[in-house]
Amino acid sequence: MKPRLLALATLTVALAALAPGAGLPATTAVHVEASTQSAVATYLKAGEEPRPAPGATAPAGWLAVELPGPFEVYVENKDL
């Protein structure tokens, strides 16, 4: 299995509302844990389209997305 970076993001809009090609409405923090209190590892830039991580589970209010890299990190859904 190739290393990958997982991010969890809190949704402010329903996933169905995210039209393909729309991308993120604003730059989004990527956290090292599924908590707004956790450290920020990196950011997803406005306009990027997060890719859902296949087979990953996330706590309620969070979404697992896949990014390149060898780390597991989390992004708050409210920023999607």
pLDDT tens series, the chain, 80 aa:
334 444 444 333 333 334 456 688 888 887 777 788 877 777 889 998 887 777 778 888 877 777 777 666 677 788 87
80 falls within a domain: no
Domain count, the chain: 1
41 falls within a domain: yes
Pair 42, 73: CB distance under 8 Å: yes
Nearest to 28 by CA among 41, 14, 45: 45
C-alpha span between 30 and 16 (Å, rounded): 21
pLDDT of res. 35: 81
pLDDT of res. 9: 46
